[in-house]
Amino acid sequence: MTSGCFALCAFRWWWTGAAMEEHDGQEMGDQQAAAGGADAAAAGGARGGGARGGEGDQAAFMMMDEIVERLKLLNYELTFFPKGFRPLTRVFFAMPSSNPAEQFHYFTTLATWLMNKLGNDAKPPSHYDDPNSTVANLTIELQKLGVPNDYPPIKVKQGHGDAVCSILLSLLERIGHEWRKPYHAPDDYAEEAQVDDDAPLDADAIADDVGNGTEDEEDLYFAHAATTIPEEANKAAPTVIEATVEPEEWRLEMERVLPQLKVTIVSDGKEWRTHVAQAKVHQQAVNERLPVSAASLARILAELTETTSMVAKVEAKLNAQCATDISEYAGKQADFTAKQEVYNKSTEEINKLQNTLTSVTDELQQIKSRMDERGSAMTDTSPIVKIKGALTKMKAEVRAMEVRIGVVSHSLVLKRLGANSMTARSALQPSILAG
């Protein structure tokens, strides 16, 4: 049982520390984001386009700071947190959150709690309520209490901004707080005698005195149980013991022995008595926190049960209302599936025909190219032109050759004629010489 208590207390300490670290980190991040948003708003106002928005943000931050302080005066940590909410940061309602639904629910629940403190019997909203109806109901309850609410519903439905902070601050101002003067209890302690801290301390002598005067607890217990008190002592009337020593002597004796009584006893953490004392402290802490945790868990269980039943009812209602549409949808889905199959088959057939058309077109292109080549070859006159040119050239060459042949023939004839004349002359010379 002791180890179970230790484990439970250790888990409780770990969970509390983690929650506090998360809360501190969130508060620091919200403050940094708020500072960045305020700087951005101030810069926009300096440029001339966002002066009014910057003033509204600054007012929201100032009102939020006062809201947190007034809530602390109401001890909302003890009365409001059991509803399942975390502590408010100083910029929670002054700037938008990453979860607008949770921020709006926190605002409406806190406003309802404050109205209940003013005597209103409004019920806190749920997560699943319509925001428009929630804002309308909140406006009606604020009018009953006479709280001014001149803001449009769209600003209240945002869950942050000057409208939300103004509503919460108006409710807190109506609740108020009674300030009282502080009460200081008088000190009835006797004047302490001066102690000489520099006096020598004999630790061995004190340890011997303490050890000689200490007995075992079990022996002391059994010895006390074994002793019997006589009946005459029990029947004797109680008497007041009066001291015979003067107070001044007591004081002097106390001042004399007080420096010697300063003994520092170091407690051992492994001693079983320390463990028992720690277990009792932890058990008391667990017993104090158990009702709050049990109430929170019971509330969460009730909300989950209610939500589950609501979801089941809504689902059954939707199924009953949409039965005809569901059957019609199923029929149309079947028709669509059949037509989809026909479409797929037709698409396949079209693809095949398209492939056939492509192949036929390619063959036709090839035939056309061959026919074009043959036609161009048949109608081309360049070979004839070449032949004619060649014939003309050959004729010119033949003429030149004939001229050269004629010249040569003429030369040969002339040579032959010259040779014949020379022969005739040579033949006539001997006859002339002889005559």
The model's pLDDT over 153-184, given as tens digits with 9 standing for 90+, comes to: 888 888 888 888 888 888 888 887 666 677 66
The model's pLDDT over 4-25, given as tens digits with 9 standing for 90+, comes to: 444 444 444 444 444 444 444 4
Q: What is the pLDDT confidence band of residue 392, given thresholds at 50, 70 and 90?
A: very high
- Lowest mean pLDDT: which of 10-24, 293-307, 365-379? 10-24
Q: What is the pLDDT confidence band of residue 294, given thresholds at 50, 70 and 90?
A: very high
55: CB partners within 8 A, 6+ apart = 45
HEC sequence for 149-197:
CCCCHHHHHCCCCHHHHHHHHHHHHHHCCCCCCCCCCCCCCCCCCCCCC
Q: Residues 314-330: what's their mean pLDDT?
A: 89
* Top mean-pLDDT range of 52-66, 118-132, 249-263, 361-375: 361-375
pLDDT for residue 352 is more than 50: yes
Q: How far is Cα 176 from Cα 418, in angstroms, rounded to an integer?
A: 165
Q: How far is Cα 125 from Cα 111, in angstroms, rounded to an integer?
A: 10
For residue 285, the model assigns a pLDDT of 92
Q: Between the CA of residue 392 and those of 7, 213, 382, 389, 404, what are the distances in Å?
A: 124, 157, 15, 5, 18
Q: What is the pLDDT confidence band of residue 276, given thresholds at 50, 70 and 90?
A: confident
Q: Which residue has the tokens 């943000």?
A: 57
Q: How far is Cα 27 from Cα 294, in angstroms, rounded to an integer?
A: 27
Cβ atoms of residues 193 and 258 within 8 Å:
yes
The model's pLDDT over 51-110, given as tens digits with 9 standing for 90+, comes to: 334 455 678 888 888 888 888 888 887 777 656 677 888 888 888 888 888 888 888 888
Q: How far is Cα 91 from Cα 394, in angstroms, rounded to an integer?
A: 113
148: CB partners within 8 A, 6+ apart = 170
Quote the mean pLDDT of the chain: 75
For residue 214, the model assigns a pLDDT of 47
DSSP state letters, 335-386: HHHHHHHHHHHHHHHHHHHHHHHHHHHHHHHHHHHHHHHHHHHHS--HHHHH
Q: How far is Cα 138 from Cα 163, in angstroms, rounded to an integer?
A: 13
pLDDT for residue 31 is more than 50: no
The predicted model scores a pTM of 0.34
Q: Which residue has the tokens 């868990």?
A: 297
